[in-house]
Chain A
Amino acid sequence: MNALVKVLLLASLLAAGNVFGQAARQDKVLKGDAQCTRCHDETEEYPVLAIGKTKHGTIADGRTPTCTSCHGESNLHVNRPPDAKERPKPDVTFSKASKTPMEQRTAACLSCHQGGNRIQWQMSAHASRDVSCTSCHQVHTGHDKVRDKVTQTETCFNCHKEQRVQVNRPSHHPIIEGKMSCSSCHNVHGGNPKQLVRDSVTETCFTCHMEKRGPFVHSHPPVQEDCAICHQPHGTTIANLLKARPPFLCQECHSHTSHPSQAAGLPTGRTTSNTLLGAVGRGCLSCHTNIHGSNSTQNSATSGRFRR
């Protein structure tokens, strides 16, 4: 009896093991992933199966890739040669320590994602500096940080240290508050100078600040040319994201006689003298208040100086 029970128990365990083995060899997420997920399964330290939570894991979409679409056929990795000391890596790997050339890593993504905002990718500063898609994007995760405006800056600030400190300055766009992100203004896959979402600095700024577009009756040429002549959009210590405070900012171009050429000082008391108000309060802008342009047709030279 004991022998019979033992045989039956052994058989059942073997059966269970066989069932277990057969189940592991079925696809878990993507079509044809069985040969990969027999090792890279739910016990894997790196959560590869989480790709199933994303658009890449939607197998009803005929375009959905398989493991080998991105990582290559990787025959040597799957069928380790008997004389290999270590299992060879897959044909294409994407980690920071990967030996796969950047262009090859990027090609894996561009085989599907070359269109749309990425048409100009190869012309971008990122591409020519060997930044690949997976330098910023995480694929095997339900939450790709860089595609969420609240967490996006963590990725960008890995390289862009100057902007990391600027967004924490007192005068800033609402980036740290989670209402804007780097990609609100930048198309990081694009090929225009400064990689902006529109074709120029002014066109990009006008998407939110359209009241500055004009044209105006009295226009201020640097406003039409480039907002960044006066403003630092990432953040500054001066109100309204100015690069320098009045009167110094204005005196970078204006050197007239009379009060525009004043030396900067802090007044000792109440005054309406324009030679004493260049630095305090709104500075020059206390009077030249429509500095981005004026639509006044008042027959006075004053109206041409953004004071109406």
Chain B
Amino acid sequence: MSKMQRTLRLTAISAALASAGGLALAQDAEVAELVTPESFVSIGAGYWTKDRPQWGIYDGMNKDGGYGLLDARIANRDNPTGTWFTLDARNIALETREFRVDWLRQGDIGAFLEYSRIPRDNPYTFLTGVQGIGTATLRVPTPSATTLGEVHLGTVRDRTGVGFFKSLGGGLGFRVHLQNEDKTGTRHWGRGGAAEFAVEPIDSNTRQLEAILSYASKAFQIQGGYYGSWYTNDIKLVDTALTTGASQFFLSQPLSNQAHQFFVNGGYNFTPSTRATFKVAYTQATQDETIPVGAGVATFAGAPTNLDGQIDTTLLQLGLTSRLSDSFSWLASLRNYESDEKTPQVRIVQPAGGCGTCVDNTPLTFKTLTGKLEGTYRMTRGLSLLGGLEHAKQDRKVPFGNLNVAGVDNQRYVPWRAEVDETTYRMQLRRALAETVNGSIAYLHSKRDGSEFTATNELQSDQINPIHIADRDRDKVRLMLDWAPSEALNLTFSAEAAQDDYGYSAARPYGLRDGEATLFSIDAVYSITDRWQFTGWYTRDNQKATQFGQRAVNANVLAAEKEARLEDIGDTFGAGLRGTLLPRLKAGFDVLYSKNVNKYPETITPLAGGPLLPTVGGVSAVPLPEIENRLVRLKLFAGYALQKNSEVRVDYIHERWKTDDWSWMFANGTAFTYGTTTDGTQVLQSQRQTADFLGVRYIYRFF
């Protein structure tokens, strides 16, 4: 064989071996990437051009300026042992930072540590002369302040958690989770005794501990555990007065409380098609902190110094589901939930002259027993009919307070009902209308009624049907249609309508008369090409309520009947496009448009003449105007792949918000100002907010 032949032969063999081995290696590498957990680090910066107090409430970017953008996810798995190490870090450079570190030997043991911060920045600007903001001593200027300082309110929650899990073998497992949250800051408040500006100081802590022992097999699963929660408040009382010391009130704060729950939750498969479930839980919640009293505050001699508050809650829940045949399955459940307040009833307020206006505390007990029966019949392939019946019976008890001479509970301001019952009928038809069309229609009717109302302390109070216990008939219809006219296009239509009719009578005519809600929505997902996908949706929602009431004689207005027809109309549109412009360049956008209109027309019919709305001290009132809120948010993004595992991403956001919310305005459009001869705090809301954001990140991915 010549030298050339030998070379050729060797070359051919080498090529074959190299191609076989190299190809296998390349495939191994490609497969390895597909099956190995992926990590990334993202570093960047962004800039908001303007303040955005309304939409920056929670994202830590309510001010204009630069922000760091730092995120990472490190996921490592040791394949031979199945041990994971995961670090998730988000928004590290922002006030909304959070991270979580997990270590887990899968199926055996694991632990985690997590931290999260949630800021909440009040969107309003307060111009105020009130002193002591952020402390437990507030002083309101008198006379009304003319020199005002700018104040911004807000709170921060810092939450830390640790957890542990251990498999004990044989289907047994144990896990524990402890969470601690500190909440600090300031919250907009009221001065209680007068309509003046106040700020509630927040310095509290909550802790939650959950420990669960569980067992799971193919047929039987059970878990039992303990859930404890503690709330502590470092601020017990707020002293508020005018700067002269006059008009001093002490505003109480939530006192420290705690709750301990034990529960057992389980299920058993009698057969593959029949399953029973149960849950039992008992909770004891207490509040037994010494009640603080402000200096010089007169208390009733018999008033408690400690509420000795206790609420015992018990839950018993049973369920049974069974598929009797290929075409029929049913479900039955029984749920008893009882909240029994065992706080002793004591006299809190008793004027020296006797019990015309005594006040006792009102420990509340209620028990709700709910039974449900549902059946689903699958008639032919793709057609199923569901029918259900549910009945809820609620027993409610609150003790009588003091009595007035007429034998009526003098401290009851709202009619009470000792029993409230509600029966609900449901029906739903689901149908595969064609290969590419699925639809469903559901109807619900519920009827609520109950026992006779317990009288209140005056006739007018007694003439209302309170919204949550009034007789009510509810009808609700929901339609959904899912249609895929082609492989590339999917459309979803949904429509809902609900009607509530509340009971009333000549003796009890006031309260909500009716409520109505409608929703229409259309969604589209369209794969334009293999590389481009478009999504779009539109939703219109509308809620209405008619509220009927009587205005009593007050100040310089006479009695009148009033009927408010409240309405809330929303139009929301969203769209998005994603795709690949070039082999290395991906781009897209998302846009959101939301418009809400709130209407408050109220017809006032004086019963004996007089003005419709009062005038007091030269100040009158006008009917409430409509409110319109409008939001547009456009997000554009582009990502350029520098290499296979790294990219540069650019994000642009244009945000535009407009409102004519008059909550903090007078009728002439000027800023609301507290007080007349005192205070003078103004509350400013920015009615138009337009801001742009540009952010650039470098993202590096690795395995």
Q: Is the CB of A251 within 8 A of B221?
A: no
The residues of B that contact A287 with a CB separation of less than 8 Å are 190-195
Contact of B625 among A12, A177, A266 (CB under 8 A): A266
Distance of A29 from chain B, by nearest CB (Å): 5
Distance of B391 from chain A, by nearest CB (Å): 13
A288 at the interface (CB under 8 A from B): yes
In the complex, A144→B659 CA distance in Å?
Answer: 37
B16's nearest neighbour on chain A, judged by CB, is A12
Distance of A293 from chain B, by nearest CB (Å): 7
In the complex, A264→B662 CA distance in Å?
Answer: 13
Contact of B82 among A59, A115, A216 (CB under 8 A): A59
Contact of A214 among B287, B350, B598 (CB under 8 A): B287
Distance of B395 from chain A, by nearest CB (Å): 13
Distance of B700 from chain A, by nearest CB (Å): 16
The residues of A that contact B466 with a CB separation of less than 8 Å are 252-253
Q: Is the CB of A178 within 8 A of B90?
A: yes
A249's nearest neighbour on chain B, judged by CB, is B467
Q: What secondary structure prevails in chain A residues at the interface with B?
A: loop
Mark contacts of B481-522 with chain A using CB atoms, 8 A cut-off: 1 yes-contact digit, 0 otherwise: 000000000001010100000000000001110000001010
A78 at the interface (CB under 8 A from B): no
B529 at the interface (CB under 8 A from A): no
Contact of A5 among B12, B218, B600, B663 (CB under 8 A): B12
Contact of B9 among A5, A213, A280 (CB under 8 A): A5
The residues of A that contact B27 with a CB separation of less than 8 Å are 23, 42
Q: Given contacts A49-B34, A207-B229, is CB(A271)–CB(B676) below 8 Å? A: yes
B21's nearest neighbour on chain A, judged by CB, is A19
In the complex, A178→B90 CA distance in Å?
Answer: 10
Q: Is the CB of B252 within 8 A of A296?
A: yes
Contact of B566 among A142, A200, A218, A244 (CB under 8 A): A244
Q: Is the CB of B621 within 8 A of A265?
A: yes
A contact set with B: CB distance below 8 Å: 1, 4-5, 8-9, 11-13, 15-16, 19-20, 23, 28-29, 41-42, 47, 49-55, 57-63, 103, 107, 111, 114-116, 119-120, 122-123, 128-130, 142, 150, 158-159, 161-162, 164-165, 168-170, 174, 177-179, 191-193, 199-200, 203, 206-208, 210-219, 221-222, 224-226, 229, 237-239, 244-245, 248, 251-259, 261-277, 279-282, 285-290, 292-304, 307-308
Which residues between 620 and 672 of chain B lie within 8 Å of chain A, taking CB atoms?
Answer: 620-625, 627, 629, 631, 659, 661-668, 672
Q: What are some 18 contacts across the A-B interface (CB < 8 A)?
A: A19-B23, A59-B79, A60-B82, A142-B37, A217-B361, A218-B348, A219-B362, A221-B398, A238-B598, A261-B549, A265-B622, A268-B622, A271-B676, A280-B665, A285-B190, A287-B193, A297-B291, A299-B298
Q: Is the CB of B267 within 8 A of A120?
A: yes
Which interface class (under 10, 10 to 19, 20 to 34, 35 or more) fits B?
35 or more
Q: Is the CB of B557 within 8 A of A115?
A: no
B463 at the interface (CB under 8 A from A): yes
Q: Is the CB of A270 within 8 A of B619?
A: yes
Q: Given contacts A42-B30, A177-B59, is CB(A122)–CB(B321) below 8 Å? A: yes
Contact of B596 among A23, A237, A258 (CB under 8 A): A237
Q: Is the CB of A217 within 8 A of B348?
A: yes
Q: Is the CB of A1 within 8 A of B5?
A: yes
Mark contacts of B421-438 with chain A using CB atoms, 8 A cut-off: 1 yes-contact digit, 0 otherwise: 000000010100000000
6 nearest CB pairs, A to B = A12-B16, A52-B35, A265-B621, A60-B82, A289-B190, A115-B216
Contact of A168 among B31, B255, B335, B572 (CB under 8 A): B572
Distance of A59 from chain B, by nearest CB (Å): 7
Q: Is the CB of A275 within 8 A of B666?
A: no
Which residues between 291 and 337 of chain B lie within 8 Å of chain A, taking CB atoms?
Answer: 291-294, 297-300, 303-305, 307, 309-311, 313, 315, 317, 319, 321, 323, 329, 331, 333, 335, 337
Q: Is the CB of B620 within 8 A of A267?
A: yes
The residues of A that contact B566 with a CB separation of less than 8 Å are 244, 248
A112's nearest neighbour on chain B, judged by CB, is B216
Q: Is the CB of A303 within 8 A of B348?
A: yes
Distance of A108 from chain B, by nearest CB (Å): 12
Stretch at the interface among B146-154, B443-451, B539-547: B539-547
The residues of B that contact A8 with a CB separation of less than 8 Å are 9, 12-13
Distance of B361 from chain A, by nearest CB (Å): 6
Q: Is the CB of B675 within 8 A of A272?
A: yes
Q: Is the CB of A122 within 8 A of B106?
A: no
With most chain A CB atoms within 10 A of its CB, the pick from B90, B277, B598, B621 is: B621
Q: Given contacts A248-B564, A272-B675, A275-B557, is CB(A161)–CB(B494) below 8 Å? A: yes
In the complex, A256→B297 CA distance in Å?
Answer: 28
Q: Is the CB of B307 within 8 A of A215?
A: yes
Which residues between 19 and 40 of chain B lie within 8 Å of chain A, taking CB atoms?
Answer: 19-21, 23-24, 27, 30-31, 34-38
Contact of A307 among B193, B366, B492, B521 (CB under 8 A): B193
The residues of B that contact A214 with a CB separation of less than 8 Å are 254, 257, 287, 309, 311
Q: Is the CB of B413 within 8 A of A119?
A: no
Contact of A295 among B190, B253, B564 (CB under 8 A): B253
Extra pairs beyond A170-B629, A245-B663, A277-B195 (12, CB < 8 Å) = A12-B16, A16-B16, A20-B24, A115-B223, A199-B281, A199-B315, A214-B254, A215-B310, A216-B309, A269-B666, A276-B619, A303-B359
B455 at the interface (CB under 8 A from A): no
In the complex, A286→B116 CA distance in Å?
Answer: 32
B17 at the interface (CB under 8 A from A): yes
In the complex, A123→B321 CA distance in Å?
Answer: 7
B250 at the interface (CB under 8 A from A): yes
The residues of B that contact A303 with a CB separation of less than 8 Å are 348-349, 359
In the complex, A285→B198 CA distance in Å?
Answer: 12
Distance of B401 from chain A, by nearest CB (Å): 9
Contact of B34 among A52, A262, A269 (CB under 8 A): A52
Q: Is the CB of A191 within 8 A of B667?
A: no
Q: Is the CB of A16 within 8 A of B554?
A: no
In the complex, A158→B625 CA distance in Å?
Answer: 35
Q: Is the CB of B339 within 8 A of A281?
A: no
In the complex, A213→B307 CA distance in Å?
Answer: 14
In the complex, A123→B373 CA distance in Å?
Answer: 11
Which residues between 583 and 607 of chain B lie within 8 Å of chain A, taking CB atoms?
Answer: 592, 594, 596, 598, 600, 602, 604
A291's nearest neighbour on chain B, judged by CB, is B190
Distance of A104 from chain B, by nearest CB (Å): 10
B351 at the interface (CB under 8 A from A): yes
Q: Is the CB of B80 within 8 A of A60?
A: yes
Q: Is the CB of B58 within 8 A of A123?
A: no
B14's nearest neighbour on chain A, judged by CB, is A12
In the complex, A271→B351 CA distance in Å?
Answer: 30
The residues of A that contact B471 with a CB separation of less than 8 Å are none
Q: Is the CB of B82 within 8 A of A13?
A: no
In the complex, A164→B350 CA distance in Å?
Answer: 51
The residues of B that contact A301 with a CB separation of less than 8 Å are 349, 351, 357, 359
In the complex, A52→B35 CA distance in Å?
Answer: 4
Q: Is the CB of B5 within 8 A of A4?
A: yes
The residues of A that contact B116 with a CB separation of less than 8 Å are 179
The residues of A that contact B136 with a CB separation of less than 8 Å are none
Distance of A202 from chain B, by nearest CB (Å): 8
The residues of A that contact B376 with a CB separation of less than 8 Å are 128
Q: Given contacts A177-B58, A261-B552, A273-B555, is CB(A12)–CB(B13) below 8 Å? A: yes
